[in-house]
């Protein structure tokens, strides 16, 4: 069967895989789009497992606070190079992971990886897809959550995500003053 450009485009739109990978998948599956999707998924898992041994020592952090200012979360996701840490898709993944930590009760990184996100995939499945697409090992390294009953939680992101800090201040004091103090403290923590 002849593989047309429109078939390759359709497969790319559905999978976000590279053009040559889509063309090869369609050739391997005689133009069957559904089988090609499965082929790409298996190939992606294979690529990801080959990269799992590689050291991921660069990466990004991201911190955010709930709308009421009573809960904050910070997440670190590592990649092999700082180049990947500048990738918009990687940045979006780190932000998604932080939102999951903020909005769910998560006890550890393994539990975090099992939580379903947009598209019905787990966070780990989403990360595996990113590894296959971007071509580098990436790992969710750690996260932290802080909560207050009275007071404020403040987030500070330094150097474009190299360092992120959350500070929880438990107090009956003025919320705006607490946020200013929290920001100042977070900046000092980041500077250290």
Q: How far is CA 163 from the centre of its chain?
A: 15
User: What would the pLDDT profile of 109-168 be if each residue is shown by its tens digit?
Assistant: 999 999 999 888 999 999 988 887 777 888 899 999 999 999 999 999 998 888 999 999
Q: What is the distance between the alpha carbons of residues 5 and 98, in angstroms, rounded to a whole number?
A: 38
Q: What is the distance between the alpha carbons of residues 80 and 52, in angstroms, rounded to a whole number?
A: 11
Q: What is the pLDDT of residue 101?
A: 97
Q: What is the distance between the alpha carbons of residues 141 and 78, in angstroms, rounded to a whole number?
A: 6
Q: Is the pLDDT reported for residue 51 higher than 70?
A: no
DSSP labels for 119-155? GG-BHHHHHHHHHHHH-S-EEEEEEEEEE-SSEEEEE
Q: Is the pLDDT reported for residue 38 higher than 70?
A: yes
Q: What is the distance between the alpha carbons of residues 41 and 20, in angstroms, rounded to a whole number?
A: 15
Its pTM surpasses 0.85: no
Place of tokens 């900046």: 187
SS (H, E, C) 37-97: HHHHHHHHHHHHHHHCCCCCCEEEEEEEECCCCCEEEEEEEEECCHHHHCCHHHHHHHHHH
What is the residue extent of each domain of the chain?
A: 5-51, 58-191
**3-class DSSP assignment, residue 183:** helix
Q: What is the DSSP letter of 160?
A: G
Query: Is the CATH code 3.30.479.20 the one for domain 58-191?
Result: yes
User: Dihedral, CA atoms, 119, 120, 124, 130, nearest 10 degrees?
Assistant: -20
Is pLDDT larger for residue 82 or for residue 175?
175
Q: What is the distance between the alpha carbons of residues 188 and 170, in angstroms, rounded to a whole number?
A: 19
Superfamily of domain 5-51: Ubiquitin-associated (UBA) domain (1.10.8.10)
């Amino acid at each position: 069967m002849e593989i047309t450009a429109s078939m390759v485009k359709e497969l790319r739109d559905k999978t976000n895989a590279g053009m040559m990978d889509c063309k090869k998948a369609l050739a391997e599956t005689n133009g069957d789009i559904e089988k090609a999707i499965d082929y790409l998924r298996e190939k992606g898992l294979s690529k990801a497992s080959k990269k799992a041994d590689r050291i991921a020592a660069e990466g990004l952090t991201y911190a955010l606070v709930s709308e009421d200012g009573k809960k904050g979360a910070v997440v670190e996701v590592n990649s092999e190079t700082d180049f990947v840490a500048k990738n918009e898709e990687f940045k979006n993944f780190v932000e998604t992971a932080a939102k999951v930590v903020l909005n769910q009760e998560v006890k550890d990184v393994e539990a975090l990886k099992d939580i379903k996100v947009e598209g019905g995939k787990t966070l780990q499945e989403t990360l595996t897809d990113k590894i296959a697409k971007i071509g580098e090992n990436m790992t969710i390294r750690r996260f932290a959550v802080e909560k207050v009953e009275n007071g404020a939680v403040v987030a500070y992101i330094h150097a474009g995500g190299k360092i992120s800090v959350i500070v929880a201040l438990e107090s009956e004091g003025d919320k705006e003053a607490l946020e200013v103090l929290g920001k100042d403290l977070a900046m000092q923590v980041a500077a250290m």
